[in-house]
Amino acid sequence: MRSDLEALVRIPSVSNREFDQAFVEQSAEAVAALLRGAGLEDATVLRVPGGAPAVVGHHAAPTGAPTVLLYAHHDVQPAGEVGEWQTAPFEPTVRGDRLFGRGAADDKAGVVAHVGALRALAGELGVGVTVFVEGEEEVGSPTFLEFLRTHREALAADVVVVADATNWKVGVPGLTTSLRGLVSAVVDVAVLDHPIHSGMYGGPVLDAPTLLARLIATLHDDEGAVAVAGLVQGPDPVVDDDEDTFRADAGVLDGVRLAGSGPITARLWTRPALGVIGLDAPRVATASNTIAPRASALLSLRVAPGQDPDAALAALERHVREQAPFGAPVTFTTVDRGRA
């Protein structure tokens, strides 16, 4: 199984369309081959127009037995700044008891877990099994609903098991019953119609990155809780994690206070979370003494279970427009939305 996982990690199957999608195709074919080798002889690559390649395979249910659908995804996030990696992102590397590489956990490990289970239970499954391995989860599954409609019969099942979550702790399994939803949008702040010299014009007019920073600062209160009106939160979970464990698992630096208040699990599971996951502004390495006319941020909002993503998106847009600093024009462009 480890060698199968390593082979999958070596395929840079980044589903962001700015990257070479031939690798996503290669990854899908590799997954289909693994499933066929594990007994799902009909495993094949499927898609809908405009969608990424997914893999579906079946083991027929014995008479009267239910069918279980096993889900995972084979696409991965971009590697980001390669220089920040200790080892090459798409070369699986073992350090201690861990295998490092982009997708080694999320979610090619999920793919291999399903394959390993099929191998271990070969001839003794006792139920029908359908495996569905998606190829566009990391870009928000834009054609997911159309895929479900198109291949409804091939995906019919009595229960779905998703191998794309976390354990409670290393060595302690957990059963995830709900996840937060997701909406994201690009916020663009403009202040000038062209760049101008900071020595001649600086003072009366603030640069766009500064105005964008002021806008971003309104998204949270002084404790770090999300301060966007109209977002909901669910009840606190009945279990909690201790702060020291969370800080160690997340790699929080000494001296950095955690955001928000209340149980750690509530902040992770049942309350909204809002962050900036991308910025477009002049780079430090190529900056000049000019006042930047525009700056943009990609906002990612995790929505509490039960909230309609369209309502959450509308609340976020309303907040951004109401908080536009110094009357600067603000453009709000929806990128993604997904229900909890």
How far apart CA 180 and CA 164 sit, in angstroms, is 13
Task: Report the predicted TM-score, pTM, of the whole model to 2 decimal places.
Answer: 0.82
Q: What is the CATH number of the domain that holds 270?
A: 3.30.70.360
Instruction: Judge if 142 and 193 occupy the same domain.
Output: no
Q: Are strands 67-73 and 128-134 parallel, antiparallel or unpaired?
A: parallel
Identify the domain boundary among 128, 162, 196.
162
Instruction: Judge if 102 and 187 occupy the same domain.
Output: no
Residues tagged active-site: 75, 137
Instruction: Judge if 227 and 303 occupy the same domain.
Output: yes
pLDDT given at position 331: 97
> DSSP for 279-293?
EES--GGG--SEE-S
Please list the residues that pair with 301 across neighbouring strands. Answer: 183, 274
pLDDT in tens, 57-67: 999 999 999 99
174 domain residue, yes or no: no
How far apart CA 241 and CA 174 sit, in angstroms, is 13
Q: How many domains, in total, are found in the chain?
A: 2
Instruction: Judge if 121 and 16 occupy the same domain.
Output: yes
φ and ψ of 266, to 5 deg = -65, -40
Mean of the per-residue pLDDT values of the chain = 95
Task: State the pLDDT confidence band at 91, using cuts at 50, 70 and 90.
Answer: very high
pLDDT given at position 12: 98
Task: State the pLDDT confidence band at 340, using cuts at 50, 70 and 90.
Answer: low
pLDDT in tens, 259-274: 999 999 999 999 999 9
Instruction: Judge if 28 and 142 occupy the same domain.
Output: yes
Task: State the pLDDT confidence band at 82, using cuts at 50, 70 and 90.
Answer: very high
pLDDT given at position 140: 85
- The residue written with tokens 């199984």 in the block is 1
Identify the domain boundary among 96, 129, 162.
162
Which domain, by its residues, includes 84? Answer: 2-162
How much of the chain exceeds pLDDT 70, in percent? 99
How far apart CA 51 and CA 142 sit, in angstroms, is 7
Instruction: Judge if 252 and 304 occupy the same domain.
Output: yes
Instruction: Judge if 19 and 49 occupy the same domain.
Output: yes
pLDDT given at position 339: 65
